[in-house]
């Protein structure tokens, strides 16, 4: 009788152990079923800040003469920009860069006899930073008027920025997350499953490119400053459990 009882107990314990093991395997199998998707969001925006630089120079064998001519140019440029509606706080004149320039001294037989001093070349840069993008953009195109007045003014292409990029980024993250969930729900539905909890989410790199341009995305994130109209984009990789 004791042997029969022990056998029954052993058999029952074995059945329970098998049930627990099969349930654990089933749970592990079920819990390992996940869907991994990548959501994308894009948004167009217009720059609200422009930065424009221009440089000018004067050269003379005499340092004081070169500096006096450069100061005359600075006053003329300041007057020109002020007349165009640019305020003093929107323009900054750099310190003067002084370069001593030389030419190689070579005699008739081609022998090098050192260097010959050709003069002091003084360079100064004016930087204009403003929220009035259209106005500064227009002035940067009309600056040839300074050249016509005798000033060797070299204008650089304006750089365009947006002061509320953090708002754009937050908005795009929300839209990219919604896009990822919608993709995951579609996949789960077509597979006869239901979407469960979010397991993992990894944000991609924030990219800023020119609107309607063919710029390539950068591994570290593109940051276009050459175009006024821009497109911001971001991706987010999300992993969902299914049930």
**Rounded to an integer, what distance in angstroms lies between the CA atom of residue 144 and that of residue 138?**
12
Task: Give Rg (Cα) of the chain.
Answer: 35
Q: What is the pLDDT of residues 138-165, one digit of tens each?
A: 999 998 889 888 899 999 999 999 999 9
Is the pLDDT at 20 greater than 60, yes or no?
no
Contact of 227 with 213, CB cutoff 8 Å:
yes
**Span 218-225, mean pLDDT?**
92
- Whether pLDDT at 123 is above 90: yes
Which pLDDT band holds residue 104 (cuts at 50, 70, 90)? confident
3-state helix, strand, coil in the chain (%, to 5): 40, 35, 25
The count of other CB atoms within 10 Å of the CB of residue 78 is 15
H, E, C per residue of 66-79? HHHHHHHHHHHHHH
Interatomic CA distance for residues 178 and 239, integer angstroms = 13
pLDDT at residue 18, rounded to an integer: 45
DSSP 230: E
33-49 pLDDT tens trace = 899 999 999 999 999 99
C-alpha dihedral sign at 78, 84, 88, 92: negative
Nearest-angstrom CA–CA distance, 228 and 185: 37
Does the pTM exceed 0.85? Answer: no
Tokens 């750089």 label which residue? Answer: 159
Residue 40, beta-bridge partner list: 235
What is the distance, to the nearest Å, from the Cα of residue 217 to the centroid of all Cα atoms in its chain?
A: 10
Residue 170's pLDDT is 96
Quickly state the pLDDT bin for 28 (edges 50, 70, 90): very low
Model pLDDT for residues 171-212, shown as the tens digit of each residue: 999 999 999 999 999 999 998 999 999 999 999 999 999 999
- pLDDT value at residue 5: 53
List of domains in the chain:
33-46+164-242 (3.30.110.170), 50-158 (3.30.70.2970)
């Amino acid at each position: 009788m004791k042997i029969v009882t022990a056998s029954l107990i052993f058999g029952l314990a074995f059945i329970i152990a098998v049930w627990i093991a099969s349930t654990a395997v089933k749970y592990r199998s079920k819990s390992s079923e996940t869907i991994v998707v990548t959501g994308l969001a894009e948004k167009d925006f217009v720059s609200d800040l422009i930065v424009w630089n221009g440089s000018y120079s004067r050269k003379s064998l005499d340092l004081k003469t070169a500096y006096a001519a450069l100061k005359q140019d600075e006053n003329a440029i300041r007057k020109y920009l002020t007349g165009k509606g640019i305020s003093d706080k929107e323009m900054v004149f750099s310190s003067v860069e002084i370069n001593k320039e030389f030419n190689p001294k070579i005699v008739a037989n081609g022998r090098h006899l050192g260097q010959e001093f050709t003069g002091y070349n003084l360079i100064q840069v004016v930087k204009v930073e403003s929220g009035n993008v259209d106005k500064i953009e227009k002035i940067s195109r009309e600056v040839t008027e300074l050249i016509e007045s005798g000033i060797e003014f070299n204008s650089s292409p304006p750089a365009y920025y947006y002061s509320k990029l953090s708002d754009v980024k937050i908005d795009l993250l929300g839209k990219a997350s919604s896009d990822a969930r919608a993709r995951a729900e579609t996949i789960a539905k077509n597979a006869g499953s239901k979407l469960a909890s979010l397991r993992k989410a990894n944000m991609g790199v924030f990219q800023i490119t020119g609107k309607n341009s063919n710029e390539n995305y950068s591994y570290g994130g593109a940051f276009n400053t050459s175009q006024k109209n821009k497109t911001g984009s971001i991706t987010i990789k999300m992993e969902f459990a299914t049930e």
